[in-house]
Amino acid sequence: MSGPYINRELSWIEFNGRVLSEAENAQVPLLERLKFLSIVASNFDEFFMVRVATVKRQHTLNKASTCPTGMSPKDQLTAIRARVTELSERTYRVLLDDIFPALAENRLVRVRRDEWDSEQQSFVKRFFRERVFPVLTPVRAMEGDSLSAVGNLRLHAAFLLEPSPEARAESVGLAAASAISETTTPADAERTDGRTTSDEPLMAIVQVPPSLERVVYLPTTDADVVAFTFLEQVILSEAYQLFPGFSVTEQCLFRVTRDADFGVDEERDEDFVEAMEQVIETRDRSDVVRLNINRGSQRLRRILTDALLLEEDEVYESADPLELRNLMDVVSIDGFAELRDPPWKSMPSPWVEEDEAIWDSIRKRDILLHHPYESFDPVVRMVQEAADDPQTLAIKMTLYRTSGNSPIIKALERAAENGKQVSVLVELKARFDEERNIGWAQRLERAGVIVVYGIARLKVHAKAMLIIRRERHGVRRYVHLGTGNYNDKTAKLYTDLGLMSCDDTLCYEVGRFFNAITGYSVIPGLQKLAMAPVGMKRRIIELIRREASRAQGGGSGLIIAKMNSLADPEVIDVLYEASRAGVEIRLNVRGICMLVPGIAGVSETISVVSVVDRYLEHSRAFYFENGGSAEVYLASADWMPRNLEKRVELMFPVENPDIRRRLRRILDLFFQDDTKAHRLLSDGTWHRIDAGADGAAAVGEAVRAQEAAYRRIRDRLSGDEPQNRQEFKVRRKPPK
Amino acid sequence: MQRNGTNKDKPVSTTAAPRVVSVIDIGSTAIRVVIAEIHADSEWITLDRASRPLSLGRDVFLAGFLSSESMREAVAILKSFRELLQGWQIPPDSVRVIATAAIREAKNRDTFLDRVQIRTGFKIDVVEGIEENHLTYIAVQHAINDLRPQFARSSAMILEVGGGTTEIMLLQRGRMVAAHSLRIGTLRVEQQLQAPASLTSNDRVEEYLRENIRVNREVLNSELRLDRIRYFVAVGGDARIAAQRVGKKEGEHFSVIDRSAFERFLWELQRRTLDECVRELNLTYTEAEGLLPALLSYKLFMEATSAQQLIVPDVSIREGVLINFAVGRRGPMRQEFAEQVINSTVGLGRKFHFDETHGMHVAQLAVSLFDQFAEDHGMDEHARLLLEVAAIIHDIGNFIRASGHHKHGQYIVENSEIFGLSRSDIRILANVVRYHRGGTPNSGHTDYVSLRREHRMLVLKLAGLLRVADALDRGHVQRIRGFTLETQDEDVLLRCDYSGDISIEQYALRQKGRLFEEVFGFGVLAV
């Protein structure tokens, strides 16, 4: 018996729908809503590049469905399109009818091109001439041309041109412009010459230059008002200046999304970096899977659709602004604090003393860090102190998505220069970060760091750091294991959990993990840790089954699991088994959930909630009641085949009982949330849990999990604070 | 992390700083490294391990040579281990690199040793088969320390099935009665059957092993009644794989598998293809290939015993080397080791019906002479042990014929194994036995001439001492119980504690004391 399941792609779209619903949520400050819209858009970009591209390829190659629901690729594409179109309509409705007008009321005004006053118009002209024109590169593109040079996700303007009778002699203008274009091949140029005299429509495209700010601020009469437009509107408005001798008859904006789901040639070990660089180049030339276009010109829409070899159902037409990711630039505008969330300051961990070495703190007790409520600084400090500490022998760590100017990279460089052995596994295959990664990885290598550029056919997604120190009584090791990347930037935006420890066995096993991923050793058998792709799935299944057998034996069973996605059919089936055995299963799944809860005889005891709030929920934590002797694990992996079978991941136990209790309280919080949580119903739809609507749950104040988590830590009420035993609590009457 | 020693808390050493050491083991199927921290009180903690599969044994046992690819790969692995060791800042003198059967038997071993030293700086120590036994024993003894009382009451077999050899030790009430290094190994199955294990039917493998092991079982049975063995200790990676699957951890360093569970596991294994083993047991191909022949070997040996469980320690030869590091050449473990060498020697003697009373008595006199004469002979503890062993079995050749028994003895010893002694020790011993009577060495004696110079000297010194001790029990009736040694100008005077008439012994000493005089420059007299 297996299933039922929800289709993975459709489940993912529902997640983006939940993000969108935060943008629609009138309780959320306006600029935050704008931010959610921008996130919805960039989420969809990645979804098309990776997921839709994959399904589309399955469809074109006539491959059998890999979806455990059995849904054919064709049906998936149809369903995807329908749902994406709905969400896109909702997106523009809330943006144009709700958010922009509301922002305008708050003196942040987006001014459409047809609304520019004369002063603004002359500002735009000057701005175009001085700032924009010099960096524009118009390219002539004939109908039927492949448009292969149009880069992935880059916003372009397209123009249809006609020679203007009074300036035919100057028709060399465009040819001159194409001649300076880097993207024009000699073949293009030849054809251009041959065709200028024909009657075919002339099309030119211009990339909106990525080097310029996308948001253009316009002068206003009222000093309290901030007015803005988008760069592409400036270009559309002034485009006629680009084509002397021609008049622009039609124009539009468009962007293409290309297939980014192709791997690097894994056989190339020696020159893997080079192979990776080629992948990055290819990404700008691969097949187009989507065309976004604004409502400027139906004729251009047809020409572009044909030229890109697309079907109509791969074209998504929308209002302006076409490029919603640019809204992020509006979000980051100075001022307007009243339109944003009140800041939540990251608190220092009460277990980390400022004025003692981090090692001393860790030796006292294991330390759990809950980011971003708790600061990421101790993790950075761990690397920095190790780098400068004469007792440190070696540092080993994995780096998945990290920025080159991060303090961690700098500390690692310094450590190597200080003569420590520094070994770093850099996952070059971290999608869309490859280019950045190659740069700083090579810099580390030059500093003397042993850099391992990943593992063939597997992505290393585990987040682990090991420091080896020589101390007075012998060698001691310290580990940090986490659910999030070693990236001080995302640590402020993603909720993650990290554990610092010097437990001998844990450190020993982390050491053996590093031996395996740096090529010193075969994959070891591990007791405390579980490692994907070798043992983690088996361990997870064992843990779920153990709960089931406890429940069957007359006891109770309880599983609480929090993850980003639940998509492994095998694990889902075991969860169904456990549910049938009577185990209570509470799942907190932020994104994709292929499990169907609440079906009689299958998943009656399973409930699924998802929280979408100001921080991206990113931590993975699994609680198993185990008949009263609870076990809690943290992991870098979701319960997806991708994580459990194609990546190197780590799952580690939390053994300190105080920390375990604290984690249980964190996990419980999400099921109390009636503000930012959605519940998955047995029909596969998601519904916002409403404080007012849900009778019994509405008693008392509404709960917002992230806010509650923040407050607990701010007010030192997480239940895991050090007890200062400086005095006894004496039971006596107060002295007279 | 593994904690070792009696004190389970992190040892707080007060004297010397703990030392991080490493042992690299170049085996028949893999190269492995273990890194440990040794504390002043000789306790040690395993810090790190790594291993990479490399089938050197397949090369050597099939073709006799290490292939150049294997050598390249071995060098690459050792280089990566060197990098790992650098991370721990382990100085070169704290690293021991040992190699076992595959390298030992490779015809191009010298090339390999040289290449490794040039490319990696590692100096490889090739361990002799029987020395492997000794190192394994040290590790096993450490791991199953808790079982010591049980072992002291009954008989036990310690068996390690490797790629190239099978190490076997028989203990009677805790005493080592025999130790052998058999040329049976999981990789040799392939060689013998002329086909990779993966292509051979499981039945053929079993049949082949059964035949081979039957012969050995008979020999072993003459040394110790196998059917009385109650404890069966299975050492080695394959046994550990089985223990992980069907065993239960009983002590800190060992697991126990019920015989029936083990046989069931093996039976299931036999019905699986190699691919299924790899997949279902989560093994590498190298591991999976060796697993079945190894477990079959354990089963076939165990069948001869009455043991109902397999005791599987989580240690290997590497831990044996580590313990050697930890305890140095002293300490109680060392003494126990010497006792087991003696026990094993006695076991060998009994196999050849030696005159145990005479042998033991001569050994006692010889050791006494060694100790009292220490200032003038300048030999070490190991030489003392060799002297004791040689004295115990000096007359072992009588088993064949009294006439020329020193030559028969040389042959027997040369072709025997004694627990804890290396090949070169055995060659020295055989020569000492040879020269305990009869002529002294000359250039025609190839067995003597082929020894290294310092070993030739050792043979002469030991034989000189042994002849004196042997003379003191010339009558084989232990009239001289002991003596005090006095050094006079040019003579050594032995003041004997005796009963009865010792004129035969005095006469014998005059004959047999000449070598002593030649070697040490002192005449020797008994009064």
Mutate to test the interface with B, among A396, A476, A478, A515 (most CBs of B within 10 A): A515
> For the segment A12-50, what is each residue's pLDDT rounded down to a tens digit?
999 999 999 999 999 999 999 999 999 999 999 999 988
Mutant choice from A520, A527, A538 vs B, greatest count of B C-beta within 10 A: A520
Which residues in chain A touch residue B46, judged by CB atoms under 8 angstroms apart?
A: 508
Residue A170 has pLDDT above 50, yes or no: no
Crossing angle of helices A434-446 and A272-282, in 10° steps, is: 150
Chain A residues with CB-CB distance to B10 below 8 A: 473-474
Choose the closest CB to B80 out of A511, A520, A534: A520
A421 Cα to chain B: minimum distance (Å): 5
Among A123-137, A656-670, B35-49, B298-312, the range scoring the smallest mean pLDDT is: B35-49
Contacts of A421 in chain B (CB under 8 A): 83, 86-87
A379: pLDDT confidence band, cut at 50, 70 and 90?
very high
| Selected residue of B48, B245, B249 to mutate for chain A interface (largest A Cβ count, 10 A) | B48
Q: Do B89 and A508 touch (CB under 8 A)?
A: no
> How far off is chain B from A465, nearest CA to CA, in Å?
14
Residue B517 binned pLDDT confidence (cut-offs 50, 70, 90): very high
**Rounded alpha-carbon distances, angstroms, from residue B229 to A397, B235, B302:** 51, 17, 9
Residues of B with Cβ-Cβ distance to A505 under 8 angstroms: 1
What's the pLDDT band for A264 if we cut at 50, 70, 90?
low
Question: How confident is residue B45, by pLDDT bands cut at 50, 70 and 90?
Answer: confident
CB-count exposure of residue A721 (10 Å: 0-12, 13-18, 19+):
middle
| pLDDT one-digit tens code per residue, A66-119 | 888 889 999 999 999 999 999 999 999 999 999 999 999 999 999 999 999 999
Chain B nearest-CA distance from A474, in A, is: 6
pLDDT at A140: 81
Given a cut of 60, whether residue A159 has pLDDT beyond it is yes
Question: What pLDDT sits at residue B218?
Answer: 84
CA B231 to chain CA centroid, Å, is 20
Are B49 and A450 a contacting pair at CB < 8 A? no
Active site residue A156: no
Give contacts of A512 with chain B, Cβ < 8 Å: 48-50
Quote the CA–CA distance of B207 and B189 in Å, as a whole number.
Answer: 11
Grade residue A187 by pLDDT with cuts at 50, 70 and 90.
very low
- Do A525 and B1 make contact, defined as CB atoms within 8 angstroms? no
Quote the tokens at residue A343.
């800041």
For residue B140, give Cα distances in angstroms to B5, B26, B265, B369.
Answer: 13, 20, 24, 34
Taking each helix axis from N to C end, the angle separating B381-392 and B423-434, rounded to the nearest 10 degrees, works out to 50
Judge: B49–A474 Cβ closer than 8 Å, yes or no: no
Q: Is A107 left (phi over 0), alpha (psi -120 to 50) or beta?
A: left
The span from the CA of B413 to the CA of B429, in Å, is 7
pLDDT at res. B110: 94
Confidence of residue A200 (pLDDT cuts 50, 70, 90): low
Put simply, the answer to whether A473 touches B10 (Cβ < 8 Å) is: yes
Numbered residues of chain A with Cβ closer than 8 Å to any chain B Cβ: 393-394, 396, 421, 423, 450, 468, 470, 472-475, 504-505, 507-508, 511-512, 515, 519-522, 524-525, 534-535
Chain A residues within 8 A of B11 when measuring between CB atoms: 473-474
Q: Which of A170, A157, A233 is nearest to A196 (CA)?
A: A170
**Confidence label for A727 from pLDDT (cuts 50, 70 and 90):** low
Beta bridge partners of B254: B313
For residues B170-189, average pLDDT: 85
**Exposure on the CB side of residue A219, measured as CA atoms within 13 A:** 12
Å between A510 CA and nearest CA of chain B: 10
Given a cut of 50, whether residue B5 has pLDDT beyond it is no
Do B51 and A512 lie within an 8 Å CB cutoff? no
For A505, which of B1, B30, B48 is closest by C-beta distance? Answer: B1
Answer whether B48 sits within 8 Å of A511, measured CB to CB: yes
- Of A156, A370, A371, A461, which is the active-site residue? A461
Considering only the beta carbons, identify the residue of A473, A515, A534 that sits closest to B48. Answer: A515
Q: Which amino acid is at B113?
A: L
Using a CB-CB cut-off of 8 Å, the residues of chain A touching B51 are: 521-522
Of A475, A521, A535, which has the smallest distance from its Cβ to B20's Cβ? A475
Q: Which residue has the higher pLDDT, A523 or A194?
A: A523
Q: Do A473 and B18 touch (CB under 8 A)?
A: yes
> Cβ of B87 and A521 within 8 Å?
no
Q: Tell me the sheet residues that pair with A205.
A: A139, A158
Q: Using CB atoms, which residue from A504, A511, A521 is nearest to B52? A: A521
Query: Above 80 in pLDDT, residue A64?
Result: no
Q: Quick one: A435 exposed, middle or buried, by C-beta within 10 A (0-12, 13-18, 19+)?
A: middle
Record: contact B83-A507, CB cut-off 8 A: no
String of b and e for B256-293 (b: at least 16 CB within 10 Å)? bbebebbbebbeebeebebeebbeebbbeebbbbbbbb
| Closest residue by Cα to residue A578 from A527, A534, A540, A609 | A540
Which residues on chain A are in Cβ contact (under 8 Å) with B16? Answer: none
Task: List CB contacts (< 8 A) between B50 and chain A.
Answer: 512, 515, 520-521
User: Which residues make Cβ contacts (< 8 Å) with residue A343, sequence separation at least 6?
Assistant: none
Q: If you average pLDDT over residues A126-151, what whole number do you get?
A: 80
Q: Which residues of A645-680 are buried (b: 16+ CB within 10 A; e: fewer)?
A: bebbbbbbbbbbebbbbbbbbbbebbbbbbbbbbbb
Q: pLDDT of B253-262, one tens digit each?
A: 899 999 999 9
pLDDT of A483 > 90? The answer is: yes
Q: What is the pLDDT of residue B328?
A: 64
Over residues B59-72, the mean pLDDT reads: 91
Rounded CA-CA distance B170/B154 in Å is 11
Q: Do residue A520 and residue B244 have CB atoms under 8 angstroms apart?
A: no
pLDDT of res. B219: 83
B50 to A521: CB separation less than 8 angstroms, yes or no: yes
Residue A436 has pLDDT above 90, yes or no: no
pLDDT at B330: 55
* Chain B: closest CA distance from residue A455 (Å): 16
Residue B431 scores a pLDDT above 90 = yes
pLDDT of A404 reads: 63
User: Which residues of B fall within a CB distance of 8 Å from A507?
Assistant: 1
CB pairs under 8 A between A and B: 72
Determine, for residues B50 and A525 on separate chains, whether the beta-carbon distance falls below 8 Å.
no
Chain A residue closest in CA terms to B84: A520
- Asked whether the beta carbons of residue A393 and residue B89 sit closer than 8 angstroms, the reply is yes
ipTM (interface predicted TM): 0.79
Encode pLDDT of A315-366 as tens digits.
999 998 999 988 998 998 888 999 999 999 999 999 998 889 999 999 999 9
Question: Average pLDDT over chain A, rounded to whole?
Answer: 87
Q: What percent of chain A has pLDDT over 90?
A: 62
Structure confidence at residue B11 as a pLDDT band (50, 70, 90)? very low
Best mutation target among B44, B49, B82, B238 (most A Cβ atoms within 10 Å) is: B49
| Smallest Cα distance from B284 to chain A, Å | 9
Q: Which residues of A touch B84 (CB under 8 A)?
A: 515, 520
Residue A454: both structure tokens together = 């990943």
Q: Distance (Å) from the C-alpha of residue B269 to the closest C-alpha of chain A?
A: 20
Give the mean pLDDT of chain B.
87
